[in-house]
Structure 1
Amino acid sequence: SAESARQLAQDLNLKFYTDCGVCGPVRDWIDQQLPGGKGTSVAVEKDSGYVIEQLFDTQGSSTYTYLLGCKATGEAVLVDPVLGMEDRDLTLLDERGFKLKYILNTHCHADHVTSGKAIQKVRPEVKTMISEASGAKADVLLQDSDCIEFGRYALEAMATPGHTYGCMTYVLRGPTAGSPHGRHAALAVFTGDTLLIRGCGRTDFQQGDSATLYESVHQRIFTLPGTTQIYPGHDYRGRNVSSVEEERRFNPRLTKSRDDFVQLMAELKLPYPKLMDVAVPANLVDGAQS
């Protein structure tokens, strides 16, 4: 399959697999074979009980949206859905036989508008969620350690401020024996813009703070089991998944001392996101646009 070809190339360190992913004609072939065409939908994790689908925003923000579904009950959630991609997301839910229960945002985004309100126009029963610390509106305002259940699985809300003051990371946990909603070891973690593959989110706006981000990653995300899969909010180099152990060892920013990290972040001098003046006001009101 396309996915096994990608993984084999990485495992064997083949010449057509670079640090930015599979490239050239091999990448073209993989993109053609993946569900939905060029990176728009990849089933990145399956077991006997749950599915994770990773979806890519082809409109320009390079945002990863995640569909998580419980196969036994058909309940599903979306993490960080993008306005303009809602037809794709709803079609995929229907194709997979899932009923959408919740929409979760990891933070108040500056590079795209959430599709929460657009989805609620056709699925009014769906509830939107974001951290209370974000200052944004949603049907449910989350606190640290809140548990969001869908079927036999749950997402634990873990406050990870730094990129913005209100960032949440969501830890996927499965059922324990004898308790369908009991807490289980982390299966995966959805880090939004807090922790990226070999990188991290910027800290120069929206009450961002570099030292706080460093502590959020080291004291919270990096304390999860090393095998926990990391699914980031973005990637700009063709990568789609990492692990806690990989990022502990190889993330060039987060392996530095805290002081060196703070200095590095202060020297980035990045341009602001193109849609920031539109996205932030809209996302503060749950994706509603005037």
Structure 2
Amino acid sequence: MLSAPEVLKNASSEGESWTGNSKLVEWVHNSCGQGSAGVVNGLIFRQLFDKESSTFTYILGDELSREAVIIDPVDTLVERDLSFIGELGLELKFGLNTHAHADHVTGTSLIRNRLPPGSFKSVISASSGAKADVKVKQGSKIHFGNRFLQVRLTPGHTAGCACFVLDDDSRVFTGDTLLVRGCGRTDFQEGDSSTLYKSVHEQLFTLPDQCSVFPAHDYRGRTSSSIREEKRFNPRLGGGKTEKDFVAIMKELKLSTPKLIDVAVPKNMACGV
């Protein structure tokens, strides 16, 4: 029995017009025993969680080509991620890091070592100063099949933070720049409160209100939000807070140092090696 990707690839190469019909494509996946994998408008999407660092990892795949990307993988959960990707019949092309995290080590190098040479590339912003196969800038696009993520640089939590906006503006992956009812700290790794405020208001709050926000972390069991919600309810950045208000709020935070910072940051600057 052919797999769903094989059926679709053969049909596409023979010019079959029905491959553009999402309902028929979903039926093929179900019929071949692979399920639809949460397909919405041709996008396969999964949100995974690391309870140790409260990190979200995201898998996005193009339904037709089966090409996929992974955002903010954690080194200790690479086996889980690759198993999931294999079950869904996806071909992983890129591993995106929103920034050099201080609370866990990226899994991008481990993933690259597990896949065929040259088939997978790590990605991080050029302004981070970190090593990666691909260094992106403002407006860069990361393509996977017929879909892409566009880069919006959002320094402030770190100098090298970047957010990734889905091609139809329906989702944004915000790293630590914007959390659900919060934001990343600004007291180390070249953090700057004024810069973070400008990044959020100029790069994120200008997205459509209905755009879903998917952060890198959450510590209270909240999986996502929206631009509309964060503009209204974020106690640090929303509700009409001025830059001066935000700087004062961040100055008063009394946060402990991440316990893995001395290990995580040097490794993440070297792509997890």
Q: Same fold (TM over 0.5)?
A: yes
Contact 1:82 1:115 in 2 (8 A): yes
Distance in 1 separating the partners of 2:79 and 2:38: 22
> Secondary structure at the residue paired with 1:100?
strand
Q: Which residue of structure 2 aligns with residue 211 of structure 1?
A: 194
Residue deviations 1:42-76, cap 9 Å, x none? Answer: x9964130021000013x11000000011111000
Distance in 1 separating the partners of 2:124 and 2:84: 23
Q: Which residue of structure 2 aligns with residue 79 of structure 1?
A: 71
Residue deviations 1:89-123, cap 9 Å, x none? Answer: 00000111100000000001100000111111111
Contact 2:125 2:135 in 1 (8 A): yes
Distance in 1 separating the partners of 2:160 and 2:229: 26
| 1:130 pairs with 2:124 | yes
Closer, same or farther in 2 for the Cα pair 1:45/1:221, shift >3 Å?
A: farther
> Secondary structure at the residue paired with 1:85?
helix
Closer, same or farther in 2 for the Cα pair 1:45/1:225, shift >3 Å?
A: farther
Contact 2:177 2:200 in 1 (8 A): yes
Distance in 2 separating the partners of 1:274 and 1:45: 35
Distance in 2 separating the partners of 1:211 and 1:229: 24
Q: Which residue of structure 1 aligns with residue 223 of structure 2?
A: 240
| 1:168 pairs with 2:153 | no
Gaps of 5+ in 1: 1-42, 174-184
| Selected match of 1:231 from 214, 224, 229 | 214
Closer, same or farther in 2 for the Cα pair 1:258/1:103, shift >3 Å?
A: same
**Matched letter for residue 138 of structure 1:** A
Gaps of 5+ in 2: 1-35
Q: CA RMSD in A?
A: 1.3
Count of residues in Structure 1 that have an aligned counterpart in Structure 2: 234
Which runs of 4 or more aligned residues in structure 1 lie more than 3 Å from their structure 2 counterparts after TM superposition? 43-46
| 1:199 pairs with 2:182 | yes
Distance in 2 separating the partners of 1:253 and 1:242: 15
After TM superposition, the structure 1 = structure 2 runs for residues 117-196 of structure 1, keeping only pairs within 5 Å, are 117-123=109-115, 124=117, 125-173=119-167, 185-196=168-179
Q: Which residue of structure 1 aligns with residue 252 of structure 2?
A: 267
User: Greater CA radius of gyration, 1 or 2?
Assistant: 2
**Matched letter for residue 153 of structure 1:** R
> Normalised by the size of structure 2, how large is the TM-score?
0.84
**Matched letter for residue 124 of structure 2:** I
**Matched letter for residue 259 of structure 1:** K
Q: Which residue of structure 2 aligns with residue 19 of structure 1?
A: none
Offset of residue 194 of structure 1: 0.2
Distance in 1 separating the partners of 2:59 and 2:107: 14
Residue deviations 1:241-282, cap 9 Å, x none? Answer: 111001111111102211011011011021110000000000
Q: Which residue of structure 2 aligns with residue 285 of structure 1?
A: 270
Distance in 1 separating the partners of 2:208 and 2:82: 33
Distance in 1 separating the partners of 2:87 and 2:39: 16
Offset of residue 144 of structure 1: 0.8
Distance in 2 separating the partners of 1:91 and 1:49: 22
**Matched letter for residue 48 of structure 1:** N
Residue deviations 1:10-35, cap 9 Å, x none? Answer: xxxxxxxxxxxxxxxxxxxxxxxxxx
